[in-house]
Structure 1
């Protein structure tokens, strides 16, 4: 199955909570989830209580929705997490957080991870001075993320960088406002990882 291209708010309704897939709109009364919270589909055929499998599956799907990762990619992250020393769930979330599109979103250069992925694919960003157009690129401690030089004189660049930072930047990242560049200070610690996801349920889903 290809990438989901339907309404983003439908995924929030399916998950039963806000996943903040549409950037600033999710923080306003215009958010569709605020107007209609019930899950999509036929209400009469919906189970009142999800099974254990359903609970585990939903948590895995939430992680895929949030980071915009497809199933084959997610399985690779999961295999890597199983083979890395430490807590498997934390290893998984740490790998997802280190994606280049996620880093650009966290630095405030994009309103959502989906928008950040598009910016990366269009070649607007460099890592350590080299053009990088792979959204899944995994950043390392010490990496410097900058805009492409030719973008800095455009109106597009001005629109994307005015008023930064728009939201708090995680401690493992550093944003240089004067240069409009970001640096990876360290790998994300357990406290920096996605708190809305229960990684234990995801690990249990793949451990069946």
Structure 2
């Protein structure tokens, strides 16, 4: 899975939107990066650039490479309902996202490390695949010997994070997250036009 290793706040500024899955800090500047950022922001944006920007918001917030995002789009387009909403729902159901949004990690990259290093369980069984798709009724937990990992305890003590969505029931003190329902469109934590993303891929 692709991991963004550049300046995260700079990426947030370049896309013009907060990306809580990528970084917890908020960018203080509203300009795009570079000395001419304020001037570039006033230029007319082409339809293609707008569609690309919306796609990139999803990619960088959830830590997806292009191949993975295209695969999610393909799956979403074959489902009943609106393709854009289906796309967001599928991505929100990723295990690394659920671990982060359930309050066990500060960001999705941090949650991905917990998953890939074998610290996370689903229904009592270790799952080390970050893209694992949770379903309604699943209970996500932390292995007994991993419950006091610093990244987990520090984050719980800080009491901050992306925010627990309505489709999850979280009890960080017990290191437990329960999937109550399929994610709703309102559960998505970023401002993004899924219609623009669908238009980008449907060409």
TM range (shorter): 0.7 to 0.9
The equivalent residue for 2:185 is: 190
Distance in 1 (CA, whole Å) between partners of 2:30 and 2:185 is 31
Q: Which has the higher contact order (CA 8 A, sep 6+)?
A: 2
Q: Which residue of 2 aligns with 1:138?
A: 133
Structure 1 gaps of 5+ residues are: 27-32
Deviation at 1:18, TM superposition (A): 2.0
Count of aligned residue pairs for this structure pair: 199
How many Å apart are 1:146 and its aligned residue?
0.4
Q: Spell out the pairing of 1:14-93 with structure 2 (5 A cutoff).
A: 14-20=14-20, 21-23=22-24, 25-26=25-26, 33-34=27-28, 36-41=29-34, 43=36, 48-93=43-88
Greater alpha carbon shift after TM alignment, 111-120 vs 36-45: 36-45
Q: How far apart are residue 134 of structure 1 and its match?
A: 1.0
TM-score (norm: length of structure 1):
0.85
User: Which protein is bigger by CA-based radius of gyration?
Assistant: 1
Deviation at 1:39, TM superposition (A): 1.9
Q: For 2:195 and 2:107, locate their aligned partners in 1 and report how far apart those are by CA, in whole Å.
A: 26
> Distance between the aligned counterparts of 1:156 and 1:22, measured in 2?
15
Alignment TM-score, normalising by the size of structure 2: 0.87
Contact 1:105 1:113 (8 Å CA) reproduced: yes
